[in-house]
Chains A and B, each alone.
Chain A
Amino acid sequence: MIQPKRQVAALTATLVLALLAACSRPAGKSTTGAAPGATGPSAAIYFPGTDDRLHAETHLLSASLTTSEQRLKALAQAWIDGPDTDGLVRPLAGVESLHVDLSGDGTLYVDLLPAADATKPQLGSSEELTAIYSLVNTFALNVPDVKTVVLLWNGTQPPTLAGHIDTGVPLTADRSLVAGETTTP
């Protein structure tokens, strides 16, 4: 028979262990290029949810990623890999990879490279809007050197990705699309 004092001690030890385990769990996953045990700052990858808002999924960046270019490539890979969180979706399923190129004036060119047999996405305006700003916010809000983002589709800047939202101009981050932010026309 277990004594009451031992019961209290066992319960306390269990709680402490549970607390320690919870504290030591990583807040996100490491992105491409992460060295084991050497994580750097976190980054928010923005994915659309079923509520038509953007949600930030936190990823840990490798400490070895020291330049903006390296971090941009890691962010691009994390975006291509898609979300881990239930309820969030990969916004442009037909895109296989992203090529990113940061110019000296702070313009980031993001080339969306689709699969060979992929056609341009057929989306509603809400889907298109969140898809575009999923990319723009992910790069512009994580890398201070990025001032504007120009989206390319297979090497060419299209007027729109899916017939609605203007991609013919350099785009800046839009926090109003992020869940929890409010916007009033």
Chain B
Amino acid sequence: MPATRYPAPHPPRRNDPSLAPCFSLLAQARIPRSWLLVPAPRGPRPAERDGILSRVIRRLSVLLALLLIALPLVAQEEEEETPEVPRVQVSASATLLWADTGSSLPVLRAAPGVLVGLQQVVERLGGKLQRVEGAPEAFVLDLQGTRAVLGAGSQAVTIGQDIVTLSQPPILSTAGPLVPIDLLQRLYGDTLGYRFEWQDSTSTLLVVQGTRREIPLTVNVVQLEELTTLVLRFDQSPRYRIEESPGLVRVDFTGDVIHLTQTPTLPAGSLAQRVRVAPDSVVIQLAPDVRADHYVLNDPFRLVFDLYRGATPSGGSAPALTPPRRRPGVHTIVIDPGHGGDETGAVGPAGTEEKNVTLELAQELRQSLQAHLPVEVDLTRTGDVSMPLDDRSAFANAHKADLFISLHLNSTRGKTAHGAETYFLSLTASDEAAAEAAEAENASQPDGGDPLYDLQLMLWDLAQSRHLAESQRLAKLIQAELNDSLDLRDRGVKQAPFRVLKGAAMPAVLVEVGFINNPQDEQRLNDPDYRQKVVSALVRAIQRFSAEMAPASPADSTPDSADGAGP
């Protein structure tokens, strides 16, 4: 019978209080509950037909009455399981103007801006909007492979992998979800290149098909030991989406057209098997068991992919892998005593040569570091020999150093400057110009370029730039410790384009320990006790930095405890 077979999300629960009125009514009508099931015809005799018919009609009429009562109650129970979300009544309507055609668009002016009907926009511009099952205030919008999840009352929405904060939260209305226009811009602008313009005077939302930018792309691939670094360099920031799947990394450009300036050459041993560039995508095919991490560098905009091979697990699912080049914490430190050999460096008024003081300091620092930290310490030079600057950073790279510290003594034209200064690298516009010039020169070579030249370019362009924040942090710690220990006026942390720091692929600083042209500083720097203070300050700073870089665990040192363990 229909009364017992109507569709319901769940079987009626007889113990459910919400259904109590229904069963109570059945009891009052003295109707057995078994009537609610249709009995099988038993082949009544003709003499009984009239009586049976009248009883069936009576039962049906009772059941009909029960249905009229019970249906709303059960419907109410359904609604209680999926609670109704308050909806704002929308009376105002604007015009959605796109492709010279206008259509009605619900609109609500709610400070600080305007909210418009998402469903109506989707119907015009494309996409699929659905409610989230079990969460009536949440919606999912699928648009050309990008999924956005938004919720009424929440300013945070997810668009693909990104979490975006809207200018104001969406709300639910009687005309469907209403959203701020910046959400539309983010969704349709980034995906399809549309531009949205709200014209308040005419209550019109104008949708303009934005021009598709043609963005030049340069692809550089460098193999450094077991790491392949692939750099996509753009003249402008593109709209893009990255999808990673086993063996494949795909970058889709939405709303822009990519123009490849030169065909990329894969170096020997590259962990990228193939790089395919199309106007709307770049696909990187990875070698087996290779994983990819990516990050962004700006000015100019670059997408950088580090490709590395992970250990194949003996069984089960793949473990989380990390690039092999950096271990957490500080394990190896390279100290660079400035100058040497023919290059004496600055000379003090009493004849003290910078190269000798830096070497003494470096040796004392190595001894102290090894006494206080479980680290390996290497010096770029241990005697009075000249060494090209590029070889010094190459030495640090070859030793897989976690820190590179170059020691120098400063000299100025004034005689009164004193104290210490700590520098980290500044990458100036000239570095970009150099990189561009090098790229142009490289591109002009008929064989696509010298891999070693590529490597140098990459080192110059990227090596220190990815460690600048850590270098700055280390510089600040060193400067603070030197100021405190030596009771110096703070000359501050500075940046300069030091050649010796450029190729270092790890946090790197240059410390000007004192001013050798200042007679007082010169005298101090020749005093072993004063140098020991300098060394102790450097060790404490490195301890603090090491503690900050160490993986977090209860057993690890904290910066404060490292302070306490200092020399």
Say whether A associates with B: yes
- Residue numbers of A with Cβ under 8 A of B are 48-52, 89, 122-127, 129, 148, 159-160, 163-172, 174, 183, 185
A126-B512, A185-B495 are known contacts; what are 7 more A-B pairs with Cβ within 8 Å? Answer: A89-B413, A124-B345, A125-B408, A148-B430, A159-B389, A160-B499, A165-B498
Q: What are some 11 contacts across the A-B interface (CB < 8 A)?
A: A50-B414, A122-B344, A122-B347, A124-B410, A124-B515, A160-B389, A165-B499, A166-B502, A168-B499, A170-B430, A185-B495
The 10 closest A-B pairs by CB, nearest first: A124-B411, A50-B414, A169-B434, A166-B499, A124-B410, A124-B346, A185-B495, A166-B497, A171-B430, A169-B430
Is there an interface contact between B412 and A163, defined as CB atoms closer than 8 Å? no
Min CB gap A154→B, angstroms: 16
Is there an interface contact between A125 and B499, defined as CB atoms closer than 8 Å? no
Is there an interface contact between B517 and A124, defined as CB atoms closer than 8 Å? yes
Is there an interface contact between A163 and B339, defined as CB atoms closer than 8 Å? yes
A125 is contacted by which of B492, B512, B517 (Cβ under 8 Å)? B512
Q: B423 — which chain A residues lie within 8 A by C-beta?
A: 125
Q: Is B516 an interface residue (CB 8 A)?
A: yes
Q: B415 — which chain A residues lie within 8 A by C-beta?
A: 50
Is there an interface contact between B408 and A172, defined as CB atoms closer than 8 Å? no
Interface of A is mostly: loop
Closest A residue to B438 using CB positions: A169
Closest A residue to B347 using CB positions: A122
Q: Mark B228-250, 1 if CB is under 8 A from A, else 0.
A: 00000000000000000000000
Alpha-carbon gap, A164 to B510, bound state (A):
10
Q: A174 — which chain B residues lie within 8 A by C-beta?
A: 428
Is there an interface contact between A127 and B437, defined as CB atoms closer than 8 Å? no
Closest B residue to A88 using CB positions: B413
Q: B411 — which chain A residues lie within 8 A by C-beta?
A: 123-124, 126-127
Alpha-carbon gap, A51 to B415, bound state (A):
10
**Residue of A51, A164, A170, A172 most packed against chain B (CB within 10 A):** A164
Is there an interface contact between B431 and A169, defined as CB atoms closer than 8 Å? yes
Q: Is B496 an interface residue (CB 8 A)?
A: yes
Q: B412 — which chain A residues lie within 8 A by C-beta?
A: 50, 52, 124, 126-127
Q: A164 — which chain B residues lie within 8 A by C-beta?
A: 408, 496, 498-500, 510
Q: A52 — which chain B residues lie within 8 A by C-beta?
A: 412-414, 417
Is there an interface contact between B429 and A125, defined as CB atoms closer than 8 Å? no
- Residue numbers of B with Cβ under 8 A of A are 338-339, 343-347, 354, 388-390, 408-415, 417, 423-424, 426, 428-431, 433-434, 437, 472, 492-500, 502, 510, 512, 515-517
Min CB gap A62→B, angstroms: 30
Q: A124 — which chain B residues lie within 8 A by C-beta?
A: 345-346, 354, 408-412, 512, 515-517
Q: B437 — which chain A residues lie within 8 A by C-beta?
A: 170
Q: B434 — which chain A residues lie within 8 A by C-beta?
A: 168-170
Min CB gap A116→B, angstroms: 18
Alpha-carbon gap, A52 to B495, bound state (A):
15
Alpha-carbon gap, A44 to B189, bound state (A):
48
Is there an interface contact between B389 and A163, defined as CB atoms closer than 8 Å? yes
B338 is contacted by which of A148, A159, A163, A169 (Cβ under 8 Å)? A163
Alpha-carbon gap, A67 to B499, bound state (A):
35
Alpha-carbon gap, A159 to B515, bound state (A):
24
Is there an interface contact between A123 and B499, defined as CB atoms closer than 8 Å? no
Q: A127 — which chain B residues lie within 8 A by C-beta?
A: 346, 411-413
Q: A129 — which chain B residues lie within 8 A by C-beta?
A: 496
Alpha-carbon gap, A129 to B346, bound state (A):
14
Is there an interface contact between B388 and A126, defined as CB atoms closer than 8 Å? no
Q: A51 — which chain B residues lie within 8 A by C-beta?
A: 414
Q: A123 — which chain B residues lie within 8 A by C-beta?
A: 346, 411
Q: B493 — which chain A residues lie within 8 A by C-beta?
A: 185
Is there an interface contact between B428 and A159, defined as CB atoms closer than 8 Å? no
Closest B residue to A136 using CB positions: B430
A165 is contacted by which of B339, B410, B433, B496 (Cβ under 8 Å)? B496
With contact pairs A52-B412, A164-B408 given, residues A148 and B433 touching in the complex (Cβ less than 8 Å): yes
A185 is contacted by which of B345, B388, B424 (Cβ under 8 Å)? B424
Alpha-carbon gap, A38 to B80, bound state (A):
95
Q: A160 — which chain B residues lie within 8 A by C-beta?
A: 389, 499
B413 is contacted by which of A49, A165, A171 (Cβ under 8 Å)? A49
Q: A165 — which chain B residues lie within 8 A by C-beta?
A: 496-499
Min CB gap A135→B, angstroms: 14
Alpha-carbon gap, A129 to B497, bound state (A):
9
Q: B495 — which chain A residues lie within 8 A by C-beta?
A: 183, 185
Is there an interface contact between A159 and B388, defined as CB atoms closer than 8 Å? yes
Alpha-carbon gap, A127 to B397, bound state (A):
29
Alpha-carbon gap, A165 to B495, bound state (A):
11
Min CB gap A156→B, angstroms: 14
Is there an interface contact between B413 and A48, defined as CB atoms closer than 8 Å? yes
Q: B347 — which chain A residues lie within 8 A by C-beta?
A: 122
Closest A residue to B340 using CB positions: A163
Alpha-carbon gap, A160 to B392, bound state (A):
14
Q: A126 — which chain B residues lie within 8 A by C-beta?
A: 410-412, 417, 512
Q: B424 — which chain A residues lie within 8 A by C-beta?
A: 185
Alpha-carbon gap, A50 to B417, bound state (A):
9
Q: A167 — which chain B residues lie within 8 A by C-beta?
A: 499
Is there an interface contact between A172 and B429, defined as CB atoms closer than 8 Å? yes
Is there an interface contact between A169 and B433, defined as CB atoms closer than 8 Å? yes
Q: B388 — which chain A residues lie within 8 A by C-beta?
A: 159
Closest A residue to B343 using CB positions: A163
Is there an interface contact between B417 and A125, defined as CB atoms closer than 8 Å? no
Min CB gap A150→B, angstroms: 10
Alpha-carbon gap, A167 to B414, bound state (A):
24
Min CB gap A30→B, angstroms: 27
Min CB gap B428→A, angstroms: 7
Min CB gap A125→B, angstroms: 6
Alpha-carbon gap, A174 to B495, bound state (A):
12
**Residue of B339, B437, B499 most packed against chain A (CB within 10 A):** B499
Q: B346 — which chain A residues lie within 8 A by C-beta?
A: 122-124, 127
Alpha-carbon gap, A170 to B412, bound state (A):
25
Closest A residue to B414 using CB positions: A50
Closest A residue to B494 using CB positions: A185
Alpha-carbon gap, A124 to B428, bound state (A):
21
**Residue of A48, A125, A127 most packed against chain B (CB within 10 A):** A125
Min CB gap A176→B, angstroms: 9
Alpha-carbon gap, A127 to B409, bound state (A):
12
Min CB gap A8→B, angstroms: 48
Min CB gap B83→A, angstroms: 54
Q: B338 — which chain A residues lie within 8 A by C-beta?
A: 163
**Residue of B344, B388, B414 most packed against chain A (CB within 10 A):** B414
Min CB gap A103→B, angstroms: 12
